[in-house]
Every structure is written in structure tokens, then in C-alpha cells.
Structure 1
Amino acid sequence: MFPAAATSNTPISKLPFYFLLTGVVAFLLLNVILYLGIPSFIDGNVRGPVLWTAAHLTLLGWAMMVAMGAMYQLVSVALQVPIYSEKLGYIQFFVYTIGILGLLHGFFWFQPSVLVTFGILTVIGILLFIFNMCKTISMMPEQTYISQFILSALVYLFITILIGITLAANFKWSFLGEIYQNLFYTHILTGVVGWFTLLIFGFSFKMVPMFSLSHGFGETLPKRMLPITHIGMIATILGLFTGFMILIVVGLIIVALNYILFLLHVKDILQKRMKKKLDVGFTTAIMAVLFGLVPMLLFPLTLGFNLGNRLLISLVYLFIFGWISYSIMGYMYKIVPFLWWTKKYSDLIGRANVPLLKDLMNERLARIIFITTAIGLIGFTIGILASLSSLLYLSQTLLLVAAILFTYMVFEVFRK
């Protein structure tokens, strides 16, 4: 199944591995740092150096690194065009990595000058990535709804980083005044919903049918989803800056509706599948969709009825770690073996015995990892909501153990 996806447009280079493996190391590190942030979760005060560091390590170190690495390969697979410049990709990796390391140092020790300096370097790294991806997509003879989702995600990423560097500069020069709060919430919205969610949607339209061997499913829903997303995002952002709560609630309801349409589309794909038994990685990715559904449905209610800051924090946590991070874990179970198998063994077919893709990952260990992670995520979410320190520490212990095993499992692929 997977080797067929590797066309002449998709040679496997070392570039995706640089990003993916750096992302896995970041994933392990953030699960250590989150221990230091548990007192902040207990107090309900999530605006501090430790959790700022953890949040950016999660989204820029773990999720972004993996997303970039995957895109340098999967854009070619999904859109059937070669990457515009692999050389630029290497340059971008080193610029971005240096920027992130400095940025995380600036957040942890709260050094505004460091935040601005390395924030600019991080922005440059992301801009190089956006340029490379946009040039790649522009080479397509005709745009598809998948490419439109990816382009929209890149636009929201661009908006997110511009707001981010503005917020970092505000730490040093304090020029934003009353609009700081509005920009802060917009930064979160465009990052986790506009960038990561649309990106996962876009690639899922290609990977879910590919992984489940599905054919004959409808494509009407995904073509309607993107305009709905933009309407919901614009309404929510307008509500944030005008102070009209009804606009925020309506906007989030529209975004939630879009998420439900995605679920219905995935259901349609799975009903048309030929592969009856789904492997543990794909099952994890589906479970992540359900994790994301809960906060999507509850965000409008929480804000509309002012149900409290603690509930909002727990929902944001579940959305970032249950939807975005858990999705990435599930898809990496498929992506890493595919990349490594194609690079190492594809030329040996017919000339030597080569392992199967499923032999590169330990499915039994993966099942333990993903179940442990799910239990930890649910426990941590409840711990935030109920302010239970013992449950938070226990849940984070489970998550750290799972992260250690996940890191081992991924790196073990390269010994096979």
C-alpha cells in the first residue's frame, strides 16, 4: 500500500527525518517540563514562564517539527508535485531549530530581549517553510480541496507567527495596551484551529482512505468545510476585538459544526473501506478526533454561559494534547515506518528479502503506549477541572512513561 504512494515526485531524503526526530525529542522534553507546570494548573494560573515554555515546546517544538517533517514528504504524496527546494528545507530546519531553542530559553527564564531576538529567528524559519510549501503547491496544474486546506492552514500559520512576534515584542516594550488580550486569544485560535486543525483535516482527506483502503466515498463534505471554517474563524476574531460575546459563541459554534462535518466524512470513508481491521496507529488517530470533539462542542457553552476559567483551561488542554498531539502520535506510527522503509528497502524489492512495513513498529508496545497516553490525558483533564494535585501528578507520570516508550519505539525503527 505505502510503497505505491512513493512516486517519482516523492524521493525520500534525510530532510523529513531531521524534523521528525527533533520533534520526538521535544515531545519527551515537554512531558518532563509539564511536571514543573502542575502547580500552575492547580492554581488555575496558566500564564507564567513554565507553562509558556511548555505550550510553545508542544506547539512549536513537537507538533510543528513533526508537521514540517511530514509535509516535506506528504505534500508530494498528497499533491503529486516535487518539493520546490530541498536545500531551502535544510536551511530552514537549522534556522528554525536555533530560533526555537533560544525562544524556549527566553520563555523559561522570561528574558524579553531573548524572546524578541530568537522570536525573529523563529519567524524567519517559519516564513522560509511557508515560502517553500507555497511554491511547491503553486506547481500543481490544478488545485484540489486538499491543497486548498493546506494553503489555508499556511495562511493561518503566517497570521499566528506575526501575532506571536508582536506579543513577544510587547513583553519588552509594552505597546499593545488593551488589545493584548484580544491578540493573545486570536494567537491561540489561529494556531490550534486555523493552522493545526486545518492541516490535520487536509492530510486526513488523503491518509484516511490510503490507510484504510477506502474507495467510492463522497467528497461533497470536505469541499464545503473550508468556507465554513473561514466564516467561523472571522466571526470569532471579530467577536474578540469588538467585545460581542454572541459573535464569539456563534463563531465557535460554526467551527464546531465544521468539525462535525469532518467526523461525518471520516465515517463515510471508513464505511467504504476494504481493510476491515484498522491498526493501532490509525485507531489512535480516530480516537484523537473524538478527544477533539468534546472541547469543540463545549467551548461555545463554556464561554456563552461563563462556566469558569478552570473548565476552559481543561478544554484547551484536551484540545491541544488530545486532538493535536494524540493525532500526531497516531499518524507517526504510520509515517515513520513508511519513510524509513521506502528509503532503505524500496530499491531491494525483488533482489533481497525485505521486511514488511508492519514489522518496523512493535504493535503490542504501541498499543500499550497509546492506551497509557489516553488514560493520562483523560486523568490530567479531570485533574485540572477538579484541581486534584495527586491525579495531575499520577496522570503526568503515565504520560511521561508513555513518552519515553514512544521515543524508544520511533528510534528503534531505524535499527531495522
Structure 2
Amino acid sequence: MAAPITSQAPSFALPARYMLTGMVGLVLFAVDLVWQVKLLAQGQTFSPHVIALTHLLTLAVLLSFVMGAVYQLLTVAFLIPLKAEKAGRLNFWLYLCGVIGLWYSMSSWWPLGLTIFGTVVMVCLYLYAGLIIWSLSDTGVSGAMRGFVLSAHIYLILAVTAAWLLVLSFTVPSLAVWQTDLLATHIVLAAGGFFSFLIIGFSYKLLPMFTLAHGYTTSHQKYTQALLHLALWSLLTAVWLHGATWVTVGGLLALAGFGVQVWDVRDIFKKRMRKKVDLPIRGVATAFILACVGMSAIAVIPWTGAGLVAWQDLITFYLLGVVALVLMSYAYKIVPFLIWTERYGKHVGKLKIPLMADLLNLQHSRWVYSLFGSGLLIYLVSFARLWPLGVWAGAGLLSIGVLIFVCQMFYVLDLRKLPKELRAGKPSGQEQ
């Protein structure tokens, strides 16, 4: 099912440029992941090249795609136009330059570059979050979805602030003592705050839409929101008070929150009108179940005596096995919709046009999920044991799965037509 075409939709180029950047970043991440396997197999996660690899994933891939998707979904989910769209378009180029410069500065560990380009990226993300929060102020849509999306962008501002203070700590001696705490705060706010709240919030709109679900319960959503807020602040308390008990409390609260979310997804599936659930939508449901596994690990790890490697493994698991899995799964739906709307939406009822389902056979996603999932599992187990051969094999399978996914997205985008469409700048699915 397609989302409704709205006259309030932003220009096609705005979400498309961010999503395309995310796809290109994903190719670079897949290649660099294999390139850095030797360092990863040795557990050198604080090597400049590995730090750059991590932020290639978070900034160039996950955040880029998320920003594009949010710009597109804002009008669909909240029935509002994007405020100051021109600022959003200009912000893309500044963000792109900032991410490239920051990646180079991290790879070469150039402190001045970290400060300069880190500040550029910070300003860009502040502007993005500010535009979304400003736009949401006009929506008549209330409830948990609005609460989750609004909270996500507030947490993004806090996460970026923590990251900027962390960067400054390398040149400001008075901040150096807080480096570990600032790093942990940044990770909790970014992964547990921004990404988690955002994917749950928009799932309240997207899952029923893509399964044609009606009559499902929404009364549990406020409990999910409250539990995850409490979990996040419990984990932040643990970071600054250095208390294992607070970590466990946060993990258990997060487990309860994601558990309620899984229960709600189950109800949506039960109340669906579509006979068959597409593989990508199953992928989203699987990611929420995996999130429960990750939250259980948070609660247990402090009492196992496991070292830093366990936490590093868990962060990788969450970023790839939950956040990336959800975004890749929704991309199978969002990207074809965006392209179909731009190229064929205005011809509905006038010309013979392809169906949205004709743009990509979703059964082909099976290869991506198989390679991505098996590769991630092998990588995580091997990294925990610092087994080089397994790290090589896992990273290789994961990268192949990612590259197949990107090829499928490029097929839908049709790179021969895309440059002209990006230059046109007309609203998606409408005449200029």
C-alpha cells in the first residue's frame, strides 16, 4: 500500500539527496569494514581508522538516511509541511562537507580538524533537529507517535552536544577527565535516545500502513514511551555515578519497553488485512525482538565480569542488528514509494504506469537478510573471542549482503534518471 500523496510534501531532491548519500555511505562502509578487519580482529576499536569507520556508519549511513526519510515522512505521518525547506536543502551540502571532513580528521586523528568539522556537523544536526521540532509544533496529530519523534530529536541535540564536548576534551585539559563519561553519554543518547525513539515512533504509522492493519490496540504505546524514557535516564545515571545496579535497572526497563513494543507489533500483525506480510516488514519485527535480546544483555553484562569487548560487541549488535536492520527494511518500502511518486504519481489515471510493486521484487531481499544476518552473527561471536578468521568471514558476508542491498536500491533509483530529477527541484509527485 502506498502512503497518500500530499501537497505538503517537500521537494523530491530534499529526501532523495540524503537517502542517496546514505546508500553511497553504505558502500563505503562495506568496503572499509573489510579493509579494517585486521584491526577489528585485534580488538583495536579505539584505533583512528576504526573510529572513523564507526562514524562512517552512524553519520554517513544511518543519520543521512534517517534525515531523508524523516523529511519525506513528516508530511505523511503528521499532515504538516516542513518549515524552512530551503534551509534544509542548504543544510545538506554543509552536512556532507562536514561528514567528509570529520571522517578524514578521525582517520588521520587531526585534532584541529576534529574540532572544525565536528562543529560543522554539530551545527547541521542542530539545524535539522530544530526544523523538525519547529515543524511538529503545528501538527494536530497527538499521542505516542508525536511524543516519540519529538523526544528523538531532543535526544539528538543532547547526543550531538555530548559528542562536541568529547571532541573538545582532546584540546581542553579541564574536559579530559570526563572523556569516558562523555563517550558513554553520547552513545546512550544517540543509540538509545535518537535512533530507538525515532524508529519506534514512525513504526506506529508505517507498520499499520504497510500491513493494512485496523482495530489494533494503541493503549500500550504510552507505557512503551514511559519505560524507554526511564530506561534512558537510568543508563545515563549509571554512566555518571558508575553504578552497575543502575545499568541493570536501565536494561530491565528498556527490555520491558521493547517487550511492550513487540506485543503491539504482534497485535498489528494479527489485525492486518493483507494476507501476506512482506519480508521487509518481518525484518522490522525481527529487529524489535533483537532489541529485547540486546536490552537483556545490558542488564546482565555488569555482573558477568565481561570487559570492554562485551560492550563494544553489544553496541555493534544494536547499531547493525537493530537500527540498520530497521532502516534497511523500511528502505525497501520508502525508496520505491518516493521514486514511484516522483516519476509516475502525476500520471495516475492518465497513462498506463507500473505498479509500485513492479519497481522491486521484495522476495529478492531474502538474500540480503540471509547474508547480513549470518555475517553479523559470525562477526559478533568472532569479535568477542578475537578470532581473526571468523571476523574476516563475518565482515565479508555482512558486506556482501549490504552491497546487494545497495544494488537493489540503485536499481529502484535508476541512476540514469536521478541527476535530472534532483536538479528539477519540484515537489514530489506534483507538477512544478
Query: What TM-score comes out, normalization by structure 2 length?
Result: 0.93
**Structure 1, gaps ≥5 residues long:** none
Alignment of 1:192-271 (within 5 A): 192-271=191-270
Note closer, same or farther for the CA distance 1:11–1:90 as it changes in structure 2 (3 Å cut). closer
User: CA contact under 8 A between 2:151 and 2:197: conserved in structure 1?
Assistant: yes
**2:427 matched residue in structure 1:** none
* Structure 2 Cα separation of the partners of residues 208 and 12 of structure 1: 25
* Structure 2 Cα separation of the partners of residues 322 and 236 of structure 1: 20
* Structure 2 Cα separation of the partners of residues 317 and 37 of structure 1: 15
**2:296 matched residue in structure 1:** 297
**1:174 matched residue in structure 2:** 173
Note closer, same or farther for the CA distance 1:341–1:142 as it changes in structure 2 (3 Å cut). closer
How far off is 1:44 after superposition? 2.7
Alignment of 1:335-350 (within 5 A): 335-350=334-349
**1:77 matched residue in structure 2:** 76
**1:273 matched residue in structure 2:** 272
Alignment of 1:248-397 (within 5 A): 248-397=247-396
* Structure 1 Cα separation of the partners of residues 282 and 246 of structure 2: 36
Alignment of 1:135-214 (within 5 A): 135-141=134-140, 143-214=142-213
Amino acid corresponding to residue 312 of structure 2 in structure 1: I
* Structure 1 Cα separation of the partners of residues 10 and 311 of structure 2: 44
* Structure 2 Cα separation of the partners of residues 84 and 47 of structure 1: 39
**2:411 matched residue in structure 1:** 412
Q: Deviations over 1:39-75 (max 9, x none)?
A: 3332333112112111111111100000000000101
* Structure 2 Cα separation of the partners of residues 200 and 374 of structure 1: 19
How far off is 1:326 after superposition? 1.2
Amino acid corresponding to residue 52 of structure 1 in structure 2: I
User: CA contact under 8 A between 1:12 and 1:342: conserved in structure 2?
Assistant: no
Q: Deviations over 1:130-166 (max 9, x none)?
A: 1110111001135332111001000110000001111
* Structure 2 Cα separation of the partners of residues 357 and 54 of structure 1: 35
Aligned to 1:366, the other structure's residue is in SS state helix
Q: Deviations over 1:390-413 (max 9, x none)?
A: 111112111222222222111111
305-314 or 21-30: which moved more? 305-314
How far off is 1:118 after superposition? 0.4
Q: Deviations over 1:349-408 (max 9, x none)?
A: 111111111111133432212221111111111111222211111121112222222221
How far off is 1:305 after superposition? 3.0
Aligned to 1:175, the other structure's residue is in SS state helix
Note closer, same or farther for the CA distance 1:260–1:350 as it changes in structure 2 (3 Å cut). same
Q: Return structure 1 stretches of 4+ with deviation > 4 angstroms.
A: none
Task: With a CA cutoff of 8 Å and minimum separation of 6, indicate the structure with the bigger relative contact order.
Answer: 2
**2:430 matched residue in structure 1:** none
Q: Deviations over 1:96-133 (max 9, x none)?
A: 11111111011011001000000111011111101110
* Structure 2 Cα separation of the partners of residues 42 and 301 of structure 1: 24
171-180 or 60-69: which moved more? 171-180
Instruction: State yes or no: 1:62 paired with 2:47.
Output: no
* Structure 1 Cα separation of the partners of residues 389 and 15 of structure 2: 39
How far off is 1:230 after superposition? 1.7
User: CA contact under 8 A between 1:36 and 1:50: conserved in structure 2?
Assistant: no
**Structure 2, gaps ≥5 residues long:** 418-432
Query: What TM-score comes out, normalization by structure 1 length?
Result: 0.96
Q: Deviations over 1:164-214 (max 9, x none)?
A: 111111122333233221111111000001000110000101100001110
Sequence identity of aligned pairs in percent? 27
How far off is 1:313 after superposition? 2.2
User: CA contact under 8 A between 2:30 and 2:403: conserved in structure 1?
Assistant: no
Amino acid corresponding to residue 78 of structure 1 in structure 2: A
How far off is 1:12 after superposition? 5.1
Aligned to 1:176, the other structure's residue is in SS state helix
Amino acid corresponding to residue 390 of structure 1 in structure 2: L
Note closer, same or farther for the CA distance 1:11–1:316 as it changes in structure 2 (3 Å cut). closer
404-413 or 22-31: which moved more? 404-413
